[in-house]
Amino acid sequence: MSLPKPPAAPKRPVTLEQLGRTRTDDYAWMKDENWQQVLRDPAALRADIREHLTAENAYTKAVLAGTEALQAMLFAEMKGRIKEDDSTVPAPDGAFEYYVRYETGAEHPIHARRPRGGGEEQVLIDESELAKGKAYFHVGHAGHTRDHGLFAWAADEQGSEYYTIRVKDLSTGQEVGGAIESAYGDFTFSPDGAWLFWIWRDENARPSKVFRRPARGGEDVLVYEEMDDGMFLGVGTTADDAFILIHVGNQETTELWLIPASEPTAAPVVAEPRRTGVKYELDHWTDRWVIRTNDDGAVDFKLCVSEAAVPAKATWRDFVAHEPGRYITGFAAYAGRLVRAERVNALDRLVVMDRAGAEHVVAFDEEAYALHLETGFEYETTLTRFVYQSPTTPRQWFDYDMASRQRTLRKTQEIPSGHDPARYVARRLHARAADGAEVPITLLMLKDTPRDGSAPVLLYGYGSYGHAMEPSFSIRNLSLVDRGWIWAVAHVRGGSDKGWGWFLDGRREKKANTFTDFIACAEHLIAEGYATKGRIAAYGGSAGGMLMGAVANLRPDLWGAIIAAVPFVDVLNTMSDTSLPLTPPEWPEWGNPIEDADAYDRIASYSPYDQVKAQAYPPVLATGGLSDPRVTYWEPAKWVAKLRDHTTGEAPILLKINMEAGHGGASGRFDFLKEIALDYAFAIWAIEGGWKTA
């Protein structure tokens, strides 16, 4: 037997001239010139593109036909680790407690509440009912008014991230006010429950205007318009319900606008005008503002306070000073205390401070773990909630009394098919990069997995936007680990795993560090006996998919498989197209190749699509979503076509496009697992050489 023949993507060369530089794109035709309409209506996709993507999907299915039983087994294992009738720990708010729960077999959850301390449940919305007849359905934000009279939710019905917001009167169960279309997934009620603030997405899918309407329906009034295409918008309220906030920002610059909750129809006032490179966020702590910022050279951030009505920079004074290497990731304000989250050397911790400034640390013992603060709805409380987990320890929800320092375990993630943490070991290694940087690696493996290079390794990486890859618990990863694989996470630069400076050392002019760090991690695993060259599956998604494309070009010999999920691989073309949703907001991350020749040359030097060359590539699986506004479907499609045209090897290069979803893949909790099962089955098949014997 031999592998089926892949689709032949025709070359239709387009020559592009930019800043005195010329490049040729053979597959530019895969971008539908009517892509904005395709986001709203996937049926509008041009016929020749649809035919090509359909052929690619059929080819991938044919090549991996021999893995279908394995895919089904992996899916069954993962599903077996999910408590199907699960529920969140109820979050108290006045007379009620709110929660989300699943019924057995349901793809989507029910949002509900009950009287505080127990009583009859009231269903707020049943997502499964709302999703009936829809190939895709995802609820972004959902929330209630402080008086508990109204409930609103934002739903995306095709993966394009254009949301529709609806409001329900909880006393009658009826929707009120009419649907809000073309919305962003974020909204907030004013604390008095009278108004709804929402964000409009323009024809290029960018959030650009904040509107206010009566919560029960009425005229939409423009509150704020952002003229800079490079900024994202968000809305919210302060912890003490004293202000409504409009958040403006990108990766390196932020600005906050304030509306007094006592005057929700007042015009917003800027707190501190934006300054390029300065990030700040703030909350109101009863009688003062608390500001988290990197201003004044505070690379790993500091906390300031201001007693001014409008907290401009001139009124800030240091409250928690900057300490290099201690990255303050966020904070939560309560009436009597402030909780801040910190990360030191890729490990999280919580610090509780009272209003007099006395503080204590909430400590943990494992070698690698993840910690997440859940702030809840209530301000006048001594209780906060956090979630603790590690690669071997399922999630645990604790209520923490900030006054008595007592922890109360509220819930432990249940694994119906069973889980014995004692069977596994999690380790933290450090690879030395070429410039001497110590790059953390988190490993999960069975205790009896040999350390002789015989075990296959899956090495995961991301390394962009300052997102840290936390050492969390995953029901999915166990399906590989239980088969003798080693699951490894490379905490490369570009993330904030070791602080904000770790991010700054992996962006723009220093982006290459992300790629070389990942390669250094692979080589360290080989040197330490955990891995063997050619038996490592590299895995990453979105900007992590760009990492996959870069390391495939730089060191194809290291990898036995490359899995690139919704991969950002056509970096130069995308960053040169101002019509795309994320292009202007992402120039701070990558540089602007339209105006800056150095940025053009730098991006061209690593852009995976542009750097494909004649060499033997390992097996590749690239996935995408037709409705994806973040990494458009044509990026993986073009990349796969170019890889096939240039590879000098025989390894298969596969493309799988979800024709009914966007960036996050399938919306159902079980359907999503089928996509992960495909990724893992491909990794096993590729590493075991299944493609060589097909």
Q: Which residues are known catalytic residues? A: 542, 628, 663
Q: DSSP 3-state assignment of 281?
A: strand
Q: DSSP 3-state assignment of 35?
A: helix
In angstroms, the CA 441 to CA 490 distance is: 5
In angstroms, the CA 664 to CA 507 distance is: 24
Cα 22 to the chain's mean position, in Å? 34
For the CA atoms of 3, 68, 532, 423, the dihedral, rounded to the nearest 10 degrees, stands at: -170
**E-assigned strands of 525-574?**
536-541, 559-565
Q: Please give the C-alpha separations between residue 609 and each of 6, 435, 569, 619, 645, in angstroms, as whole numbers.
A: 19, 27, 6, 16, 12
Token pair recorded at residue 12: 């239709």
Residue 614's CB: how many other CB atoms inside 10 A? 9
Token pair recorded at residue 382: 């001594």
Element (H, E) at 548: helix 543-554
Contacts of residue 477, defined as CB under 8 A and 6 or more positions apart, other chains included, come to 391, 444, 458, 487
Burial annotation 259-292 (CB, 10 A radius, 16+ → b, else e):
bebeebeeebeebbebeeebbbbbbbbeebbbbb
Burial zone of 356 (CB within 10 Å; 0-12 exposed, 13-18 middle, 19+ buried): exposed
- Bridge-based pairing of strands 337-344 and 326-333 is antiparallel
**E-assigned strands of 86-156?**
91-93, 96-101, 110-115, 122-126, 138-144, 150-156
Helix-helix angle 634-646:543-554, to 10 degrees: 10
Q: Which of 445, 435, 436, 500 is nearest to 467 (CA)?
A: 500
- Residue 127 region, left (φ>0) first, then alpha (ψ -120 to 50), else beta? alpha
Sign of CA dihedral 394, 397, 402, 405: negative
